[in-house]
């Protein structure tokens, strides 16, 4: 009996310590239990299609909005710390509660990123899917997200007879607005690094998980291949993981012109 009491006391002390430690936020305070109850109206005033809103609400809002549905175990450290880490990072990358405040370019880039990361099974995060088994993106939902991204990016601008030669200065600006959600010049991110991409064989950057389709494309990036790729990656290399398109010919020419200047390894 004495051992049982000792164990009960130790368990109570550990539980109390866990509750107290949860008040510490080493990775940032996600305010999981201090925000008012969610109203459930997120994205209703937006142009996001209803079927896509349903997917986002079911699979994405817990980490990518201010409407996180915090489970009871989120009140206990160190679980609370890990949850807050993922939520703070998720909101920083994309906060669906702020969707209407994003520019058209930001929305296009984010929808492409959503489609790309669900297609490659990077999102939802593995640790989230393990606990929330129904958070897995189905094939139908993946298609809906992909179609949404393509619609938001607009139709191909065609030959655009008034388009001029590529301008690397404007290309840098367009690259900053449209491409940096997934790409950087000097390091791999969701997409591979693009420094020195012009003249490089596709799928050859070390330590980047290219799709099998792109690794087997045997393609060198030049004006023609980059233009086809930016116009529609699925047409250029069927089965790849990229979902982002640049519909306007002038934007594509300017981006390609800028990438020509980004020399190095």
Give the residue-averaged pLDDT of 157-169: 70
pTM of the entire predicted model:
0.66
Task: Express as a percent the part of the chain with pLDDT over 90.
Answer: 32
Domains in the chain, ordered, with CATH? 2-153 (no CATH), 168-261 (1.10.760.10)
Instruction: Give residue 199's pLDDT.
Output: 94
114 has pLDDT over 80: yes
Q: How far, rounded to the nearest angstrom, does the alpha carbon of residue 101 sit from its chain's CA centroid?
A: 17
pLDDT tens by residue, 77-105: 788 888 889 899 999 989 998 898 888 88
Instruction: Give residue 226's pLDDT.
Output: 96
48 has pLDDT over 80: yes
Q: How far, rounded to the nearest angstrom, does the alpha carbon of residue 40 sit from its chain's CA centroid?
A: 22
Instruction: Report the distance separating Cα 60 and Cα 26, nearest Å.
Output: 23
Instruction: Give residue 1's pLDDT.
Output: 55
156 has pLDDT over 80: no
Instruction: Give residue 64's pLDDT.
Output: 92
Find the distance separating the first CA and the last CA of the chain, reported in whole Å: 69
Average predicted confidence (pLDDT) for the chain: 84
Give the residue-averaged pLDDT of 183-205: 92
Instruction: Give residue 163's pLDDT.
Output: 61
């Amino acid at each position: 009996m004495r051992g049982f009491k000792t164990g009960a006391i130790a368990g109570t002390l550990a539980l109390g310590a866990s509750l107290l430690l949860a008040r510490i936020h080493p990775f940032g305070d996600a305010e999981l239990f201090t925000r008012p109850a969610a109203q459930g109206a997120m994205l209703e005033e937006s142009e996001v299609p209803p079927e896509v809103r349903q997917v986002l609400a079911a699979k994405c809002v817990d980490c990518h909005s201010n409407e996180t549905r915090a489970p009871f175990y989120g009140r206990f450290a160190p679980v609370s710390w890990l949850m807050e880490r993922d939520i703070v990072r998720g909101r920083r990358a994309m906060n669906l509660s702020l969707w209407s405040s994003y520019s058209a370019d930001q929305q296009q880039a984010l929808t492409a990123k959503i489609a790309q990361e669900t297609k490659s099974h990077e999102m939802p995060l593995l640790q989230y899917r393990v606990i929330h088994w129904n958070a897995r993106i189905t094939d139908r939902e993946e298609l809906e997200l992909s179609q949404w991204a393509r619609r938001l990016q607009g139709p191909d601008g065609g030959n655009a007879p008034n388009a001029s030669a590529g301008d690397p200065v404007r290309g840098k600006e367009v690259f900053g607005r449209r491409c940096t959600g997934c790409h950087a010049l000097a390091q791999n991110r969701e997409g591979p690094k693009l420094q020195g991409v012009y003249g490089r064989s596709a799928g050859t950057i070390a330590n980047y998980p290219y799709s099998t389709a792109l690794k087997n494309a045997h393609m060198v990036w030049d004006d023609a291949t980059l233009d086809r790729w930016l116009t529609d990656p699925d047409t250029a290399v069927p089965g790849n993981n990229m979902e982002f398109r640049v519909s306007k010919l002038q934007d594509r020419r300017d981006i390609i012109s800028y990438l020509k200047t980004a020399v190095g390894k």
